[in-house]
Amino acid sequence: MAEKTTKKNARKWVLFILGFVIIALSFQLSKTIIDSNPPPRKKAKSTIKDVYTISVKNGPYQVQIPSKGVLQAYKRVRITARVQGIMQTINPLFKSGQEYRSGQTLTKIEPSEYRANVISKRASLYNLITSILPDLQLDFPSAYGQWNNYLMGFDLEKPVPILPAMEEKVRLFVSGRGIISSYYSLQNLEKTLTFYEIKAPFNGVLVSANVTEGSLIRPGQELGEFIAPGDYELMVALPKSYVSKIARGAQVKVKSIDTSQIYTGIVSRINAKVNSKTQSVEVYIRMRDSRLKEGMYMEADINAMEFNNVFALDRGLLNEAEEIFVVQNGKLILKKVNPIHFTETLVITRGLNDGEKIVAQPLIGAFSGMEINPIPYNISK
């Protein structure tokens, strides 16, 4: 009997423990199932961005073509030797930066050898004329006095005087003696003698000197450059499509790259030739200002053409489909526009209405229908 009681108790404890394990497993399983279902997500609150906007105001727009170039003197002379000899020392010295007045001697080349040859030719002409005086006195008494006076004014150290006026018979007689041919040959030599002294063609400055006193000068050798300061020209290359819109005499604003000073020039010349490589045309802008120097790097803004009833906006606002975002009832709406001209930073468009609001700056992630908080943008800031 005692043995049966013991078995019953053991059975109860086994069932009790088994039930407890089942309950624990059920509780753990239900917890796992509950944890596997994530809680419902909260809906994100919609954020409305603040966007700067500007109001459209159509009007005229003057297209300016920025071009750069180096300033060059309008009056420039390359001083080139036409004779041979040793360069002489004169005052002032032949140095860069030296100023000269018109007609003042720039430099001299030693002419003694050539001058002696010229004097010899003068003496020969003098002797020829002297030899015909007796014949003139007999055959042409009226011409004798003219030629006698001509010899009286003949100086071997000075240029030969102009031959006296002659009748046809006298001219034939004189020509037959070789006097006329000797006279013009001597004039040619005297002209060459003047090349030994180089004079300033106008008031200016010697900007470069390639030789010094005592140098051996040869024909064709470049001695230096001479310019007139205060009068300059700027050459810029413009697209050929714009040239027809540019008029000679038009005023141009020119800015110095390094000093940012503004100067005024005029379009003086337009080349008739188109550069085949760049398809551009050379336009010359003339400027007169004592502050300018040759070689300055300048930037010119040339008025090429003018559009009416247009609006200029940032190129970044225009998409590939030629649309921009306009603001309607606090939302962004894409609108088609007609771009008619592009600059480096702007696009000139038609198709926008006066008073219409557009975004002032490109907006990342913008889309049609996007709600925004428009804020008027003051361009003058």
CA distance 15 to 24: 14
pLDDT reported for residue 3? 57
What does the pLDDT look like over 128-162, one tens digit per residue?
Answer: 999 999 998 988 888 999 999 999 999 999 999 99
CATH domain 65-72+230-305 topology: Elongation Factor Tu (Ef-tu); domain 3 (2.40.30)
Matching residue, tokens 């420039």? 76
Q: Where in the chain is the domain with CATH 2.40.30.170?
A: 65-72+230-305
Contacts of 168 (CB under 8 A, 6+ apart): none
Q: Where in the chain is the domain with CATH 2.40.420.20?
A: 51-60+308-376
Contacts of 101 (CB under 8 A, 6+ apart): 200, 203
Per the structure block, which two tokens stand in for 91?
A: 């005052």
Q: Which architecture characterizes domain 51-60+308-376 according to CATH?
A: Beta Barrel (2.40)
pLDDT reported for residue 328? 87
Collect the ranges in the chain with pLDDT lower than 50. Answer: 44, 381
| Max Cα–Cα distance, the chain, nearest Å | 200
